């Protein structure tokens, strides 16, 4: 036969306390639990935190508004644009395109006035740059006016670097595809 257990009484919550199990805490004495019994300790901590932060913010504002150099005040000195000089005409050459086609291209280089007329630069560097740029392109690519103009601008930039600023423009004097 099973044994049955019965619970007769449960202890009350807080029943083990002296004084009858009241769950309300006893009233605090004035000044108990705080250092030295002084009020306002939280305000001092707040002041100690906010004071330095406020000081840093004011210092940053003064630096950026008063002491920092103004971006508009610095003068940018631009070099004057070079003046055009002699035009160096280079004989046309044939360049291999894609799919067995050819491009016959002639160049003229607009030199700056800083290049003496008796010391014209060697045109072989310009021809090499043109061969490198145009080789392998299709006839459709080199025949398209927008593509041709972008390739001319790229060639001009390359030649300005190769000739150390002595070339300021490139003209196509001959441009025939086959």
Q: Give pLDDT tens digits for 142-157.
A: 999 999 999 999 999 9
In the numeric block, which tokens belong to residue 68? Answer: 């920092």
Structure confidence at residue 121 (pLDDT): 86
User: Is 50 in the same domain as 133?
Assistant: no
| 166: nearest Cα among 87, 77, 93, 89 | 87
* φ/ψ (deg, to 5) at 110: -85, 110
For 158, residues 6+ apart whose C-beta sits below 8 A from its C-beta are 129, 133
User: Is 126 in the same domain as 154?
Assistant: yes
Q: pLDDT-based confidence at 105, cuts 50/70/90? A: very high
DSSP H or E stretch at residue 93: strand 84-96
Give the total number of structural domains in the chain.
2
**Considering the domain boundaries, does residue 79 fall inside one?**
no
Q: CA-to-CA distance for 75 and 142, rounded, in angstroms?
A: 43
User: Is 59 in the same domain as 88?
Assistant: no
User: Is 49 in the same domain as 108?
Assistant: no
Q: CA-to-CA distance for 119 and 114, rounded, in angstroms?
A: 11
Structure confidence at residue 130 (pLDDT): 92
Name the domain boundary from 67, 101, 116.
67
Structure confidence at residue 50 (pLDDT): 85
Q: Which residue has the tokens 């605090």?
A: 28
Does residue 61 surpass a pLDDT of 90? no
**Considering the domain boundaries, does residue 12 fall inside one?**
no
User: Is 100 in the same domain as 62?
Assistant: no
In the numeric block, which tokens belong to residue 178? Answer: 């086959």
What proportion of the chain, given as a percentage, has pLDDT over 70?
72
In the numeric block, which tokens belong to residue 170? Answer: 């490139």
Name the domain boundary from 67, 102, 120.
67
In the numeric block, which tokens belong to residue 23? Answer: 């769950």
Domain limits for position 50: 42-67
**Considering the domain boundaries, does residue 171 fall inside one?**
yes
Prediction pTM value? 0.53
Rg of the chain over Cα atoms, rounded to whole angstroms, equals: 45
**Considering the domain boundaries, does residue 10 fall inside one?**
no
- Kindly tell me the burial class for residue 118, based on how many C-beta atoms sit within 10 Å of its own C-beta (0-12, 13-18, 19 or more): exposed
Nearest-10 crossing angle of helices 145-162, 124-134:
140
């Amino acid at each position: 036969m099973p044994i049955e257990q019965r619970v007769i009484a449960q202890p009350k919550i807080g029943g083990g306390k002296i004084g009858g199990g009241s769950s309300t805490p006893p009233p605090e004495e004035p000044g108990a639990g705080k250092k030295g019994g002084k009020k306002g300790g939280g305000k001092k901590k707040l002041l100690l935190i906010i004071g330095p932060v406020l000081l840093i913010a004011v210092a940053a504002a003064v630096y950026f508004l008063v002491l920092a150099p103004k971006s508009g005040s610095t003068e940018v000195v631009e070099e004057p644009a070079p003046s055009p000089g002699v035009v160096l005409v280079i004989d046309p050459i044939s360049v291999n395109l894609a799919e067995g086609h050819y491009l016959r291209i002639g160049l003229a280089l607009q030199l700056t006035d800083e290049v003496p007329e008796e010391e014209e630069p060697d045109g072989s560097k310009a021809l090499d740059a043109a061969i490198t740029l145009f080789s392998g392109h299709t006839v459709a690519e080199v025949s398209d006016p927008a593509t041709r103009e972008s390739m001319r601008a790229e060639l001009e930039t390359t030649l300005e670097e190769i000739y150390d600023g002595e070339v300021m423009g490139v003209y196509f004097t001959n441009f025939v595809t086959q």
